[in-house]
A = this chain, B = another copy of it.
Amino acid sequence: MNEGMRLLQIAPVEDLSLRAIARNTGVSATALYRHFPDKQALLQALAQEGLDKLGAEQRAAIDAAGGGVESFAAAGRTYVRFALANPALFRLVMSCGFEGVQSADESNAMALLRNCVADVYAGSSEGDLRVAVLRAWGMVHGLAMLMLDGHLPPDSAMIESVIHPTYVKGAG
């Protein structure tokens, strides 16, 4: 039923109409109400799927990088690249506010980020860790959004220069 995922890859979120999904699924518009109470619920299901996908990609990147600052940077680059590769889905994930998830802090992606930070800043206070998480998340999220909104070019070299192990290491 979540084949509306396909439509998200070819059109922005705001163009994703219930009726278009139904049409492309070869079913009547109101049939979707047998599976979701309303449009918001359908979008939330798609968002959950997207969040899982993001988490999986980050997990893979972190593991491949071998730990420490390299993994930390890899997680960040993966975050931005995911956004660029799936603009509508990424927007949807972020605008749905992880509402389906138990708690924002327990989502897979969040846990990964926290682990990376804890790994890199081992020995720091709990407060310092939290601030480091916010700075890292903020930076990659901001970079992603600015690129999606066309304020920055979706330049791969730019991503790498901004999210760089040497920077991660230097900034306390």
Contact = CB atoms under 8 A, between A and B. Distances in A.
Interface of A: 14, 94-95, 97-98, 104, 127, 131, 134-135, 137-146, 149-152, 158, 161-162, 167, 170-172
A158 B170 CA distance: 22
Contact of A97 (B127, B151, B167): B151
Nearest to A151: B104
22 contacts: A14-B14, A94-B151, A95-B149, A97-B149, A104-B151, A127-B161, A134-B158, A134-B162, A137-B142, A137-B146, A138-B138, A138-B143, A138-B146, A138-B162, A139-B139, A139-B142, A141-B142, A141-B145, A142-B142, A145-B145, A167-B171, A170-B171
Nearest to A159: B134
B143 A140 contact: no
A4 B145 CA distance: 26
A144 B172 CA distance: 21
B135 A162 contact: yes
Copies of this chain per assembly: 2
A43 to B, nearest CB: 12
A138 B161 CA distance: 13
Contacts of A162: 131, 134-135, 138
A98 to B, nearest CB: 7
Contact of A139 (B97, B135, B144): B135
A145 B14 contact: no
